[in-house]
Amino acid sequence: GPGFGGSCFKKDISNLIYICNHYGLSEVASYWEKVILINQWQQKRISKIIVEKLFGNLSEKKIAILGFAFKSNTNDTRESPAISICKDLLEEGCFLSIYDPKVEINQIQNDLFKNGDDNSKVCVASTIQESVKNADAIILLTEWEEFKKINWDEIVPLMRKPSWLFDTR
């Protein structure tokens, strides 16, 4: 998967690290620190795989992101792996078309950009079809029920060829 997200799990692990250090359990604290580092590594790993599979260059390519919330059935994006992955892909020069059934455009913009940043390479789609139109790849990041029922016979013709699907779920 793309790694864990949400505000609670990372905070709880960080608290566990603090408690372990407080009681002199440095090896246990180190173990839990590695859990957080592996989560960050996993997000970078997915970005690198995408760049590699798309011939080492994302410049001017369009990537459809399906799912931005850290988990399905919520509009919560706190610590969502999608944020890190999208930022990495934007640094590679691609265009992103993001679709999430519950996350609002303002939230996506706030998560990806600081005030004054150029947000012209990101659009927020209102449907899966709109998101994938002329896309070079689809990245499935959140496990929404509707993504399990995608009619691929309808979706694939909307994409550019060769087209890629990266299903992180």
Please state, in angstroms and rounded to a whole number, the distance separating the CA atoms of residues 159 and 119: 23
What residues contact residue 101 under an 8 Å CB cut-off, 6+ apart?
144, 146
3-class state of residue 65 by DSSP = strand
Strand order in 164-167's β-sheet? 122-124, 95-99, 62-66, 137-140, 164-167
Catalytic entry in 8, 20, 94, 123:
8
Active site residue 8: yes
Instruction: Give me 54's structure tokens.
Output: 């798309």
Per-residue pLDDT of the chain (169 residues; tens, 9 = 90+): 899 998 888 999 999 999 999 999 999 999 999 999 999 999 999 999 999 999 999 999 999 999 999 999 999 999 999 999 999 999 999 999 999 999 999 999 999 998 778 889 999 999 999 999 999 999 999 999 999 999 999 999 999 999 999 999 9
